[in-house]
Structure 1
């Protein structure tokens, strides 16, 4: 009987301690939900944030592949705690404000307005700019001496444009370019699926296409040349984490952990990381892990 009572007491004590342990873990405030949009670059950067937070002692729940059209809503509805965003997206798409081309002014504007309107903080922005651009076949660039959009405008009538449709209409697309550089009177313009544009260029079916400035294929400079926006028409899309104020106030260490990552990211670095996934077909988690080890 004595052994039985000791066993019961021991079991009760074990269960009690286990319950306390679970309670402490679940109420510690150390669980952070990191969301990402549904494309390579955002997945890589979100994984970098996650690795940094885990190193800082947080338990991270990864919530990947959220559509760009709903990820902001997911944040303010407390479905995620933070995610990588772009300053230009915040300014034009979320806040629907007028175009600004100075990176610091864009950041200062979105930081102030997000705090007022959404109770969300923008942490430090990186030098990585995933903005709009135009890519030209390198052989055509060399033949016609085209390295800037000013050069391109002069030769537009000799060039075939591979459009994605949307870029022809968007406020921050071709229309804003033509206001500053003049009419782009293409030799021809056909709409292609965005995912095919580099194949279209490579196969000599077109000469110029819209691009984002950190696309992995741009590492292949023998075939593709990103044109310089020499009059700085397009707005910057600098990468930066956005986080709910409540989460940051409860966990101020998050800012230091993630800002250290952002400080290492520039356009060339992000482009190279994207290339490892989109060109070399590596897994984004492994690419992020390898890069994170290199900056620790």
Structure 2
């Protein structure tokens, strides 16, 4: 995602098709509202570089195709709705490569993002690892018309995870311990992990770790957990807030070289729909989210099978 790769334009059609399977149609009106933060208003009441002054506007909230992102999208939607914003949702769009096209063409306005993943997508040569530096990297490379609001302390990082049995057998505590041993092992992860710079290529470049085989699995799904628990893969890319890690006594391998950068949750939004009401509502969400309460909500959604929209509503009612 440096200056939005040309391939994203081609993916716009894919976004439109995939959206048919979940959420509301991608035809909600562009938001109109009060003067956005950083914008200027002329005598006619129109805001340069943002929404027009007037009502609180409308926002189409999207999500990636894994449970946590859907939950976060529902939290954003509930918080905005409580402030009088007209909200519709388009959930489970797909990977970052797909939903960024929707943000650029205006079919969605807002999505929960992760600073490290976004920054790396925009600039594969990123070297920053701290929350502040990673956020700045992402902001510096955002496509025109998009902006990041306040980041949350809540963080959900990519991690390389093994079973406790594998960790004990191979003497693994760190990703570095896999060097020289990974050639006989199968790595599982979402399809994009095989090609992203902080995925398979990064493991080889940063740690000298090259797995014998990569098995493509759905991001954030129970299939990944089951494949690891059943021995179909020997290591897996699992998000750190996934309750399955504790429930299965999995071992998260340390990342001493910071291959996986800081991954603070942050609203990524079209500047066209930003106004004080929208900004205040989303920043309030960011201030309320923590890694601990996000993990607790993921237990409700993933382990207990509760409706993400209901879990989101409970969170917003209790915290905002």
TM-score, L = length of structure 1: 0.75
Contact between 1:219 and 1:275, CA under 8 Å: does it hold in 2?
A: no
For residue 304 of structure 2, the aligned residue among 280, 284, 287 is: 280
Shift of 1:236: 3.0
TM-score, L = length of structure 2: 0.70
Q: Larger C-alpha radius of gyration, 1 or 2?
A: 1
1:139-158 aligned at under 5 Å gives the runs 139-142=165-168, 144-153=170-179, 156=182
Question: Which residue is 2:125 aligned to?
Answer: 98
For residue 33 of structure 1, the aligned residue among 50, 53, 60 is: 60
Question: Which residue is 2:314 aligned to?
Answer: 290
The separation in 1 between residues aligned to 2:62 and 2:282, in whole angstroms, is 14
Question: Which residue is 1:252 aligned to?
Answer: 276
Deviations 1:133-184 (A, max 9, x none): 2111023334555322233437547x73333465444321132223332334
Question: Which residue is 2:28 aligned to?
Answer: none
Name the SS for the 2:288 alignment partner.
coil
For residue 123 of structure 1, the aligned residue among 149, 156, 179 is: 149
The separation in 2 between residues aligned to 1:37 and 1:122, in whole angstroms, is 17
Gapped regions of structure 1 (runs ≥ 5):
1-26
Higher helix residue share: 1
Deviations 1:229-278 (A, max 9, x none): 12212233322112222321xx2122222112112334443333233222
1:177-216 aligned at under 5 Å gives the runs 177-184=203-210, 189=213, 191=215, 193-194=217-218, 195=221, 196-216=223-243
Aligned-residue CA RMSD in angstroms? 2.8
Name the SS for the 1:70 alignment partner.
helix
The separation in 2 between residues aligned to 1:80 and 1:216, in whole angstroms, is 29
Moved more, 282-291 or 269-278: 269-278
Q: 1:180 to 1:216 in 2, by over 3 A?
A: same
Question: Which residue is 1:264 aligned to?
Answer: 288
Shift of 1:287: 1.6
Name the SS for the 1:176 alignment partner.
helix
Shift of 1:66: 2.3
Name the SS for the 1:241 alignment partner.
strand
Shift of 1:122: 0.3
